[in-house]
Structure 1
C-alpha cells in the first residue's frame, strides 16, 4: 500500500511580535534566525558544578565533537550561596571560567538562572537557610525577591562581557524551572535580570505541565522515553509512547507531575501549546536517572529515536537533559540530592548523577553520543532549510508512523518502526510513499520495500546537490557536506540504513548507481559534486571537526575531538584506527583510490583488565521494605550492616583515567576509599562505573536484591535471582593521545 500525503507551502512566519532578539538573532513564530538565516540550535545540559574542573575541557570538547553548538547549565543557588551573603565561585563553581571555556570550544551558552532549579538537587537547589525564613518562595514576595536579586546580581556579574551582545557566547537565559502557575513572577524574574544588566536575545521558561508562561518568555518543552518519577507499578508511563510518534502537540502534562501533586497538591493545567512561537525543546531525555522505587533502563536507540521524532514533529531547537552526567555535590547537610527526607516523593542515589547520558559521569562516551551526532551533523548542514519546513503528519491505519516536513518545494520524509525493546512495533511490508507537492508528486522508493522493525528514517526530497543538480528522492539519510580541497566541489555524505535498499533518484529521474556496498569508499562522482554513501556502522564513526584551519571528516573507532591542530583521542584500547579525508600522505592508504588517509595509533597503557569474576559474596538478609515521602513510595535502605563486602586491589595506574566497572546484580551499593564514600549505585542493568584514577584499593558494600520488595526494574532483569551476584570487576584504563594535523593537508 502506498501512503500518500499532500503538502503545501506554509505561510511565512510572523515577525516582530515577540519580545526577543538582539544583534543578529531574531525569534519568529516558527524558527530562530541568526544572521538572517534560519538556525536550529543543538543544546546539551552539562552541569559545571557536578564535574571536576579538570574534566571541563574534555567534556566540552566531546560535546562540540558530538555536533552540539551550545550547552545549558543550572546555576544551583545552594552551591553558590551556602550561607546568607557568602557567595562561592571558586573551583568547579567558577561559572565564568566554564562559560569562557565553552566559547573556546565554539559553543554558545544557555544560563538556567533559577532561583529554583530542581535537577534532582536537594530542595530544588534552594539553600536550607532560605527555607527557614518566613517568606513565600517562587512568588513576588518582596522578602524573597530581595534574596533572588542578590543571587542574580552575583550571577550576572560573573557573566559581564560574555553575553551575545558583547560578542560573547551567552545567547539565552531561563528563569526558574517548572513553575506552572505564577506567570507574573516569571515575568518579574526576567525584568529583574535585565535591570541587573543581563542582555540576551532569548529568554525562556519551561512550558510543560500546562505551565502558564508569560508572553515575555519563550516556552520550551521536554520529552522522555521513560521516567523514574512514575510509580513502581507503572510498566511504561502513559506519556512515553507519544514521544516515539510524530505529533504537533508540544506539551507533556506528566513531567514533574509527581512534584506538583506532592509539594503543591495541584494537577497540571491544559496543554500549553502555542502557534505564535517556535517549537523549542530543552529537555529531550539524553538518558534517564533512577530512583530507589523505579529504575528505568533507557537504551541509546531510545534517545536517538525520540530526538528524531521531535524533528519530524516540527522541532526548531533540540535541547537535551542530560548530555553529560555528573556527581551530586556535597554540602553542609551531606550529599545534596533530592530525597524523601527533604520532602520529595523519591529517593535517588546520594552521589551518582550519571543519568545514562551520552557522556557519562566519568567521561564515558556512550553509543547515543554517536547516534545523536548523526542527527546534529545533518542539522548543521541543512538545518537552515529544515527550519523553514512545516510538519505534515501521515495518517496510517496500518500502524506505520510517518511525517513530512516541507516548505512546499522540497522536504524530508520521516518514518519509524521504532519503540523500546519491550514495546516493539512490527516490521512493515510493502512500504512506499507518495508526497504530493504543489507542482509535482514524488514517490519514494520507486518500488515498495519491506521496512524492518526498529528503524527510524529521514529521507530527503528534492535536495539540492548543486545549483544545477537535484536529488529528487533517496532512501538514505543526509549526514553532512563539506568542500573538497582544491576547488573540487562539495562532498555530500549520506548514511544507509541496515535492511533498507539504497536508492538515489536524481532530478531527471535517472538513478545514481553505487559502485559497491555502502561504506567509506562508496563514492559517486556526479557533475559538480561527489557523493559518499556510508554504511550504518561507519556513519556512527563519522565526525566533522574543525582542525588545523578547516573542517575535515574523520572516521574514528575511539572518541575524538578537535583542539587547534590536534585531534584529541581518548582511547580505552592499545590501538586506535583513524582515517581523515584528504589527510596528509601516508605510506598505506586504506584503498588505492580512496580519499581517506589512515592512521594506526598505538596507545600503550590503555585497555582493560579483568580483576574478579563470578563472585557470590556472603551477605545478610535483605532489609524489609520501607516507605516514605509524601507519596508513600519505597525508601532507599540506610542500614548496610548486612551488606556483602568486596575488597578490590587495584593495579598500578598506567593511564590518565582509570575506571572500575562492576557488572553485578543486587539492590544498592556503595564504594569507599578508606572511610570516604566515593560512589553509589542503585542496580538497574547498566554497569556501575567508579573513578579510581588515584586509588590503590576500593571497598564495595553490596545489598542483596529481593524481588518481593516491589522495586521496578526493566522486564529483562526481573528473572535475576535474589541476593547478590558479581559477574565481573574490570579495570578500564583510558588514555589521552594526540594526533597533530598539518594546516595545508
Structure 2
C-alpha cells in the first residue's frame, strides 16, 4: 500500500510591523503585509492578479477583457507602463486612445478589480529596448542606475504616471493598491530604492511596493520581492529539450526563486551570469508572493514552446500547495505589439535582444488570447480562484509542509497546507507530456493535526486506498466546517465555492468521490457527480460536480445577488447583465438560483426546464464556424538561408519574404458577429497576413492554429480579402518545436481555414428571486 503520514502543528505567528509597506491603523479597508501573508480589512487576504497590457489591446475591447478576467476569478490586474509608448519624443507625452492609463484603471475598478502599476522606467514584455524610448538609448546614459542625468529623465516620466493615477489610489478610495519599479534588475538595490523614493516624493502613496525578485536579485528592504514560475521558456537555446528549471515547478517546495528565468537577458544585456547569482532562497521576513506564474508562453523564432492549459493549471496549483500567498500570472490576457516610428515595437536581435520574437502577436497563449479567445486554462484557473475567493482568508494563513516527493518521478509528490487544526492535502502526478510521471496506486494519507486533541486530530483520507491516475493534481479538504456543528472530515473532491447553505465540490476524473463527515459517516452520493448530484445534510447542501461541469461553473453577481452559472460559452457580468460570447450557434446555460425571468439581446432564448437549475438554450444566428476554401498545398515557396544574430548568436527570424508562397483568402460577409477570426490550421515556418496594404498579423508556426482578427477591417476585408505570405518549414534550419509536432514534413500545408464568428449576447433578469 502507498501509505503516507504527516504530523502538522499550528504555525507560529507572523512577524508584523517590520516591513515598510501597508497602511496606518484606522485606514479604510486597511492593507497590511506580514511575514507570511497579506491582510485586508483586518483578515488574511490572498490576492489573485493577472497581467493585462492596456496599451496592447484595443480600447473598445478593454471592458470585455476585464470582464472575463473578473469572471475568471481575478481580484486585481497588473500592467506595464511602456515609456516608449507614452513619451515617443522627449517631453511629448501621449495618454490618448488605448494609452489612457487612467481610463483603464477606472474601468478595472468598475469591474471590481484592483490594479498594480508596473511603472518601469525599464519594463520589458518583449517591448523594443524593454520599453526605453529610442531617443533615450541614443543618449548613451548609464540607464537603470542612479546616474543623475538618467534620473533627471525618469522624474518627468514618473510625474506623468502619478498624475494619471491621482485620485485612484487605495487610500483615495480607488483601485490602485501597488506599484512595481523597474523589472528584473538584479544588482542595483540602491537604484531600486531610489525609484520608490522618487515616486513618493512626487506624491504616490500605495500600500504595496514591489520588485521582481527572481534570479537571486538584490532587492532592497523597501520593496517586496515577487517571484516567477514557468513550465517552459522561449529564452532557452534551441538545443535544450526541456529547461532544467521546469520540473522543479511541478513539485511542492517553499523555495521561491528561479535563477534561470530571463537568464539569457541578464547575461546578454547586464553581463551577469547565472553562476554569480545567489542560490535559491526562502525568505522568513516576506510572504511567498508571485507576479509571473506562466499563464502560457510566448514563442521566439529559434525556440517555440507548446505550453498546454494543463501545464498552466497544474503549476499554479503546485504553488498554492507550496505556500504561495499571492497568485500572479503573466500573461493573463494576450495582446498585439504596438507600431511606432520604427515600425513594430517588438524586441529583436536588431535591438540587442537575444531572441527574435513575432513582429505583432503577443498572444502568449494566455487564458484570454490576443483577440479575446477564451482558452481552457481560463476555466481551469477559475476553479482555483473560486476556491481562493471562498477560502483564501484561511489558506493564506496556513503553513505548507511538504510530505514527500522530489527529483525522483516515482516518488509521490504531496504536501499539506494547514493551520494546525484543519487544512488541505495536495497531491500530484502531473508533469508535462515531454517528461510525464506515472500513476500512483493504492494511495492513502494520514494527517495528524497537533492543534486538535484526541483521536479527532487524526484524519485518514481516503478511508480505503485509491489509485491516483497519472496527470492529475488534487487539493482535498481536511476538517472543513460545513456549518457550526457539522464538519466535513475529509473528501476526495475539491472545494470550489459555497453560496448560502450550498457547498460546491468537484470530482477528479478517475478518482472515486468519498465524502466523510466528522462523526465518521461516509455519505452516499444519490447519482454520479454532475449538476444534479445534490446531497442534503443537516443545515447544509452539497453539490458534487463532475470534472467537465466544474470547468463550466461561474459564480457571478446577477439580479441582485451572487448566482452559480453553468455555461457552454464564456460569460461575465457587466452593468447588471450577463454577457455571453458563444462561437457556436447554440449555447446551453443554467443558473442557480434562477431569476424570475430571463431576457436575451442578440439571441433567441428557449427554456429547457430543470429542477434545481433553471436552464435555457441560446440560439445566435451570427455565431458559429464558416469554412473557407483555400489551397491546401500552396507553392512554390523557398525559404531564405538561415541567419543568426543577437548577443547569443541565435537563429534570426526571416525578413526576406520574396520566396514566400502567396495565398489569397476571399472572406464572405460574416454578418453581425461581434468578432470574426480567420483561423488557419497550417504548418510552415513563419507567416504574415495583409489586408490590402496593411500588415495585420504574423505567426511563427509552433503547432497551434493561427488566428487573424478580421473585425477591425470589415470593409477592407470585403474589398481585398486576406493575403498570406508563408515561408516553408525546413527541419534542417534547426528551429526547436515541441516533440508532439516535430514530425511535420518540410514545406507548407494548410489543413483548414475557418471564419470563427463570435456573438455577443446580453442576458437581463426580468425579475428577482
TM over 0.5: yes
TM-score range, shorter chain: over 0.9
Which of the numbers 413, 421, 429 marks the counterpart of 1:401?
413
| SS of 2:414 mapped into structure 1 | strand
| SS of 1:158 mapped into structure 2 | helix
> Residue 575 of structure 1 contacts residue 602 of structure 1 at CA under 8 Å; is this kept in 2?
yes
Give the superposition deviation at 1:547: 1.8
Q: Whole-Å Cα distance in 2 between the matches of residues 366 and 661 of structure 1? A: 15
What are the within-5 Å matches in structure 2 for residues 290-439 of structure 1?
Answer: 290-396=299-405, 398-438=410-450, 439=452
Give the superposition deviation at 1:599: 1.4
Which residue in 2 is equivalent to 1:733? 757
Give the superposition deviation at 1:744: 1.8
Give the superposition deviation at 1:272: 4.7
| SS of 1:349 mapped into structure 2 | coil
> Residue 590 of structure 1 contacts residue 596 of structure 1 at CA under 8 Å; is this kept in 2?
no
Which residue in 2 is equivalent to 1:18? 19
| SS of 1:741 mapped into structure 2 | strand
Which residue in 2 is equivalent to 1:229? 235
Which residue in 1 is equivalent to 2:733? 709
Deviations 1:172-193 (CA, angstroms, capped at 9, x unpaired)? 1000000010001000001111
> Residue 664 of structure 1 contacts residue 727 of structure 1 at CA under 8 Å; is this kept in 2?
yes
Decide whether aligned partners of structure 1 residues 591 and 499 sit closer, same or farther in structure 2, where only a CA change above 3 A counts: farther
Which residue in 2 is equivalent to 1:486? none
Bigger mean CA offset, 72-81 vs 645-654: 645-654
Give the superposition deviation at 1:265: 1.9
Which of the numbers 692, 708, 727 marks the counterpart of 1:674?
692
Decide whether aligned partners of structure 1 residues 404 and 591 sit closer, same or farther in structure 2, where only a CA change above 3 A counts: farther
Give the superposition deviation at 1:423: 1.0
Which residue in 1 is equivalent to 2:181? 175
Q: Whole-Å Cα distance in 1 between the matches of residues 65 and 272 of structure 2? A: 39
| SS of 1:421 mapped into structure 2 | coil
> Residue 212 of structure 1 contacts residue 272 of structure 1 at CA under 8 Å; is this kept in 2?
no
Q: So what's the TM-score if we normalise by structure 1?
A: 0.98
Q: Whole-Å Cα distance in 1 between the matches of residues 550 and 630 of structure 2? A: 35
Q: Whole-Å Cα distance in 2 between the matches of residues 134 and 569 of structure 1? A: 51
| SS of 1:394 mapped into structure 2 | strand
Give the superposition deviation at 1:514: 0.8
1:564 is the counterpart of 2:589: no
Which of the numbers 644, 668, 673 marks the counterpart of 1:627?
644
Q: Whole-Å Cα distance in 2 between the matches of residues 160 and 51 of structure 1? A: 23
Which residue in 1 is equivalent to 2:133? 127
Deviations 1:77-98 (CA, angstroms, capped at 9, x unpaired)? 0000000000000000000000
| SS of 1:579 mapped into structure 2 | strand
> Residue 630 of structure 2 contacts residue 665 of structure 2 at CA under 8 Å; is this kept in 1?
no
Q: Whole-Å Cα distance in 2 between the matches of residues 124 and 564 of structure 1? A: 37
Q: Whole-Å Cα distance in 2 between the matches of residues 185 and 615 of structure 1? A: 56
Which residue in 1 is equivalent to 2:723? 699
Deviations 1:5-40 (CA, angstroms, capped at 9, x unpaired)? 111111011111010001310000000000011110
Which residue in 2 is equivalent to 1:539? 550
| SS of 2:615 mapped into structure 1 | strand
Q: Whole-Å Cα distance in 2 between the matches of residues 508 and 620 of structure 1? A: 72
Bigger mean CA offset, 618-627 vs 452-461: 618-627
Which residue in 1 is equivalent to 2:4? 3
Give the superposition deviation at 1:264: 2.1
Q: So what's the TM-score if we normalise by structure 2?
A: 0.95
Which residue in 2 is equivalent to 1:458? 475
> Residue 71 of structure 2 contacts residue 556 of structure 2 at CA under 8 Å; is this kept in 1?
yes
Q: Whole-Å Cα distance in 1 between the matches of residues 375 and 147 of structure 2? A: 45
Deviations 1:541-583 (CA, angstroms, capped at 9, x unpaired)? 0000012221110000000001133110011111111000021
Give the superposition deviation at 1:591: 6.4
Paired positions, count: 738
Q: Whole-Å Cα distance in 2 between the matches of residues 528 and 308 of structure 1? A: 31
Which of the numbers 109, 117, 120 marks the counterpart of 2:123?
117
Deviations 1:359-412 (CA, angstroms, capped at 9, x unpaired)? 000000000000000000000000011111101101257411111001100010
Decide whether aligned partners of structure 1 residues 673 and 568 sit closer, same or farther in structure 2, where only a CA change above 3 A counts: same
What are the within-5 Å matches in structure 2 for residues 506-585 of structure 1?
Answer: 506-585=517-596
Bigger mean CA offset, 581-590 vs 175-184: 581-590
Deviations 1:496-541 (CA, angstroms, capped at 9, x unpaired)? 0000000010011111211110000101111111110000000000
> Residue 586 of structure 1 contacts residue 597 of structure 1 at CA under 8 Å; is this kept in 2?
no
Decide whether aligned partners of structure 1 residues 700 and 134 sit closer, same or farther in structure 2, where only a CA change above 3 A counts: closer
1:721 is the counterpart of 2:745: yes
| SS of 1:380 mapped into structure 2 | helix
What are the within-5 Å matches in structure 2 for residues 596-607 of structure 1?
Answer: 596-607=613-624
Decide whether aligned partners of structure 1 residues 590 and 475 sit closer, same or farther in structure 2, where only a CA change above 3 A counts: farther
Q: Whole-Å Cα distance in 2 between the matches of residues 585 and 164 of structure 1? A: 37
| SS of 1:383 mapped into structure 2 | helix
> Residue 547 of structure 1 contacts residue 563 of structure 1 at CA under 8 Å; is this kept in 2?
no
> Residue 337 of structure 1 contacts residue 348 of structure 1 at CA under 8 Å; is this kept in 2?
yes
Which residue in 2 is equivalent to 1:448? 465
Q: Whole-Å Cα distance in 2 between the matches of residues 590 and 430 of structure 1? A: 42
Q: Whole-Å Cα distance in 1 between the matches of residues 476 and 303 of structure 2? A: 37
Which residue in 2 is equivalent to 1:664? 682
Give the superposition deviation at 1:424: 0.8
Bigger mean CA offset, 663-672 vs 134-143: 134-143
Bigger mean CA offset, 349-358 vs 689-698: 689-698
Q: Whole-Å Cα distance in 2 between the matches of residues 150 and 70 of structure 1? A: 27
Which residue in 2 is equivalent to 1:689? 707
Cα RMSD (Å): 1.2
Give the superposition deviation at 1:676: 1.2
